[in-house]
């Protein structure tokens, strides 16, 4: 029962922010998706000796750069 009371107090304290988030429809899906792309790129760059090469992979994957197809 104390957990439910604590939840109620927390929701009451943040009620304006909760309602505004629902009204505005803004969420963190885009940021979470980008974060996932960066984490995946970092895993793909495992073994690269220099940080600049890892950074390059992250920019290529997360930046949306379109490269021409190989001939």
d(CA 29, CA 7): 25
Q: Give me 50's structure tokens.
A: 């220099």
- The upper half-sphere exposure of residue 6, i.e. CA atoms within 13 Å in the direction of its Cβ, equals 3
Count of domains observed in the chain: 1
Res 5: pLDDT: 94
Per-residue pLDDT tens over the stretch 1-11: 889 999 999 99
- pLDDT confidence band for 71 (50 / 70 / 90): low
Which tens digits make up the pLDDT trace of 11-45?
A: 999 999 989 988 998 888 888 988 998 898 888 88
Ordered alpha helix ranges (H), the chain: 2-13, 15-24, 29-44, 51-62
Q: What pLDDT was estimated at residue 64? A: 74
Q: Is residue 14 part of a domain?
A: no
Does 52 map to a domain? yes
- Is residue 47 a part of any domain in this protein? yes
Range of the domain at 40: 29-62
**What pTM was estimated for this model as a whole?**
0.53
Which residues contact residue 27 at a Cβ distance below 8 angstroms, ignoring those fewer than 6 apart? 21
In a domain, 69, yes or no: no
């Amino acid at each position: 029962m104390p957990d439910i009371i604590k939840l109620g107090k927390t929701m009451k304290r943040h009620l304006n922010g909760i309602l505004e988030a629902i009204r505005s429809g803004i969420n963190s899906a885009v940021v979470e998706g980008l974060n996932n792309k960066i984490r995946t790129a970092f895993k793909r760059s495992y073994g690269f000796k220099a940080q600049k090469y890892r950074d390059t992979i992250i920019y290529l994957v997360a930046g949306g750069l379109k490269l021409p197809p190989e001939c």
